[in-house]
Amino acid sequence: MKSYRLSELSDAEVRSLIARPRIDFSSVFALVNPIVDHVRQRGDAAVKEYTLRFDKAELEKIVELVSDLPDPLLDAHVKEAFDIAYGNIYAFHAAQRTPETNVENMKGVQCKRVARSINSVGLYVPGGTAVLPSTALMLSVPAQIAGCKTIVLATPPAQDGTIWKEVVYCAKKAGVTHILKAGGAQAISAMAWGTETCPKVEKIFGPGNQYVTAAKMILQNSEAMVSIDMPAGPSEVLVIADKHAIPRHVAADLLSQAEHGPDSQVVLVIAGESVDLNAIEEELSKQCQSLPRGEFAAEALSHSFIVYAHDMLESINFSNLYAPEHLIVNVKDAEKWEGCIENAGSVFLGPWTPESVGDYASGTNHVLPTYGYARMYGGVSLDSFLKYITVQSLTEEGLRKLGPYVATMAEVEGLDAHKLAVTLRLEDIEARQVST
Just list the catalytic residues. Answer: 325-326
User: SS3 string of the chain?
Assistant: CEEEEHHHCCHHHHHHHHCCCCCCHHHHHHHHHHHHHHHHHHCHHHHHHHHHHHHCCCCCCCEEEHHHCCCCCCCHHHHHHHHHHHHHHHHHHHCCCCCCEEEEEECCEEEEEEEEECCEEEEECCCCCCCCHHHHHHHHHHHHHHCCCEEEEEECCCCCCCCCHHHHHHHHHCCCCEEEECCHHHHHHHHHHCCCCCCCCCEEECCCCHHHHHHHHHHHCCCCCCEECCCCCCCEEEEEECCCCCHHHHHHHHHHHHCCCCCCEEEEEEECCCCCHHHHHHHHHHHHHHCCCHHHHHHHHHCCEEEEECCHHHHHHHHHHHCCCEEEEECCCHHHHHHHCCCCCEEEECCCCCHHHHHHCCCCCCCCCCCCHHHCCCCCCHHHHEEEEEEEEECHHHHHHHHHHHHHHHHHCCCHHHHHHHHHHHHHHHHHHHHC
